[in-house]
Chains A and B, each alone.
Chain A
Amino acid sequence: MATYSTMEMMIVAAARELEDGKSVAVGTGAPCAAAMLAQKTHAPNLVIFFEAGGVAPILPQMPISVGDSRTTWRAVMASGMAEIMETCQRGMVDYCFLGGAQIDPYGNLNSTSIGDWDRPKVRFPGSGGANDFASFAWKVMIITPQDARRFVPQVDFVTTPGYLDGPGARERAGLPENGGPHRVITNMAVLGFDPQTRRMRVESVHRGRTLAEVQANCGFELPAAPQVGETPPPTEEELEILRTQVDPLRYIIGR
């Protein structure tokens, strides 16, 4: 049995969600590793977009910035931010990857501030492109470590829309139809959203963790989906590609 790190499990779980022939907007870090791994395994025709303008690069190594030159290495186009965001808004981007300092049961994300917005206790970068991607992409993927301080009943600031306050809320607010969060991949589990209530639930638990542990490390009630199994662990092949081709310098998997 292969040994692997939690980060490797998260990257592999995220990669498997990406279908061949679809398109994904990624940032740096784990999402980029997941997209590269998917491309090199089951999804060779996955189109990768970078927020600042890179379209379908053949990534030679992990970018440090979503605008650095790696994001246009052997790419089909070096464009601009409006081009990428409008491709999303037009409906041509299937997945995006996001994170945040806080997340609530509806998948709303806070990356703006903790405490009063005017005089924040802690200030974060703000939306960047996150609100845009979460508004436009068909399926929003979230990768984040899980604990009760991060998974809160109510975020201090809704930077980025999940399902807002429940079923139909996105559409009522005017957001494009049929979008929203799809999966939350944590260090303990793969979480999804109940199609009726739009609230977060447990889909599968990573090997070595228990459902009770996943639920305990969450600041709100986290029910289990009807069939909760174990997240299939990384295969030897996935780990080999991840370690030798995707991130040989261990920028991400070394964390």
Chain B
Amino acid sequence: MEVIARGEGPLFSDPDPDKLRTFFRQKSRALTNKVTTVADAVRRFAHDGDYLAIGGFGANRIPTAVCHELVRQGRRSMIFAGHTSTHDFQILAAGEVFDRCDNAYIIGLEARGLSPNARRYMQSGKVRMAEWTNYGLALRLKAAAMGVPFLPGRNMLGTDTFRKSAAIAARDPFTGKIVTLFPALSPDVAAIHVHEADVYGNCRLRGISIADLELARAAKRLIITCERLVPTEVIRAEPTLTVIPYYLVDAVCEVPYGSYPGVMPGEYFSDEEHLRLWLKTEEDPVAFGRFFDELVRKTKDFQEYLDRCGDVRRIQQLRAQELLLDAGQAR
């Protein structure tokens, strides 16, 4: 293929599909019980310097407990897939967990505004970056999931986003048209929050899948957090509903309300008051340092964080919002 242009941004991961096949060749296919704690899963499967990707969409079905634990255990020098990232990015930037980032959507919390602290971190010069787009990164994950070195797309062409990416523009040998080639991205470790999983890691979810089906298949190691564990018989009774099969999964952690303060489809809505408090507190770096220490660094685990945020009573309110229930005085 004739190369038309090359993005000048860094490529933080190796797109070689044979190296990926070699890795997956030795990955266990055994039906073993993978249930563990978040602390143990992060200790064993997420290392300093790893390429990290977080499932969900910023404050929708995110594995909050894993994001907190990465900070608590002091992970450093990671590379982050800044793909549809919002509150997850806010946590990881506050912990300075990563020093390289593939930017697609970072810093912002959509309609809620921009994170002052994450912005300070990205303006500090501490982070090496490449630019991508949300679909661009989804395509990169899809390529890895397919076991091919790249996939073509018709986006990013002609822009500075392309110039600061590590993509290549090439002439399609069939039609002569120019396409963007997106190199496969296989994160070293990914974490995804789902509704239900069995002890082996077979997963079900409700609502939108965002890029999680591709991510689960692209990642070398996968930590699942779930709202609840279910018997394997439940999975086998209706295999159509399985979206992530167990052999992709390395650890299964039961974390009820684990997407808080994000949305969990059909379960609870995002805690907008809590997210506003984060954004407001971030305006003052000193005050935010204390806030972040109290809520994340010094808490023992996700349950303790949840306790401080109102625990089950708050979740009940958020459940009413999610389901558009009028629970009146009962709340």
Contacts and interface: CB of A to CB of B under 8 A. Distances in A.
Interface of A: 27-29, 51-54, 60-61, 64-69, 71-72, 78-82, 85, 89, 108, 112, 117-132, 135-136, 157-161, 164, 169-170, 172-176
B122 interface: yes
Contacts of B106: 125-126
B5 to A, nearest CB: 9
A-B CB proximity, top 7 nearest: A174-B178, A173-B158, A53-B208, A67-B57, A125-B108, A128-B105, A85-B135
B213 interface: yes
Interface in B128-165: 131-136, 138-139, 142, 153-161, 164
Contacts of B135: 81-82, 85, 129, 132
Contacts of B304: none
A72 B210 CA distance: 12
Contact of B138 (A82, A131, A158, A160): A82
B134 A129 contact: yes
B158 A174 contact: yes
Contacts of A169: 158
A64 B209 contact: no
B293 interface: no
Given A85-B138, A119-B125, A120-B122, 18 more contacts: A65-B86, A65-B110, A78-B265, A80-B211, A81-B134, A82-B138, A123-B122, A123-B123, A124-B107, A126-B104, A126-B105, A126-B133, A127-B104, A131-B159, A132-B155, A158-B159, A173-B157, A176-B154
A71 B270 contact: no
B272 interface: yes
A105 to B, nearest CB: 16
Given A127-B131, A129-B133, A67 B210 contact: yes
A52 B84 contact: yes
Interface string B49-60: 000000011111
B104 A124 contact: no
A240 B88 CA distance: 39
Contact of A125 (B107, B206, B214): B107
A161 B155 CA distance: 9
Contacts of A125: 105-108, 114
A65 B161 contact: no
A50 B179 CA distance: 25
Nearest to A176: B154
A64 B208 contact: no
A128 B160 contact: no
Contacts of B134: 51, 81, 85, 127-129, 132
Given A89-B154, A129-B135, A123 B60 contact: no
A161 B159 contact: yes
Contacts of B119: 122-123
Interface of B: 4, 56-61, 82, 84, 86, 103-108, 110-112, 114, 119, 122-123, 125, 131-136, 138-139, 142, 153-161, 164, 169, 177-180, 206-214, 263, 265-266, 269-270, 272, 322, 324
A161 B156 CA distance: 8
Contacts of A28: 110-111
Given A69-B263, A131-B161, A54 B104 contact: no
A135 B157 contact: yes
B158 A160 contact: no
Contacts of B86: 65
B160 A173 contact: no
Nearest to A251: B111
B208 A112 contact: no
B263 A81 contact: no
Contacts of B269: 68-69
A67 B84 contact: yes
Contacts of B155: 85, 89, 131-132, 135-136
A29 B114 contact: no
A9 B82 CA distance: 35
Given A68-B269, A124-B114, A132-B134, A112 B161 contact: yes
23 contacts: A52-B60, A68-B59, A68-B270, A69-B269, A80-B211, A80-B212, A80-B213, A82-B135, A112-B160, A122-B119, A125-B105, A125-B108, A126-B107, A127-B132, A128-B108, A129-B105, A131-B136, A131-B155, A158-B159, A159-B131, A161-B157, A164-B158, A172-B158
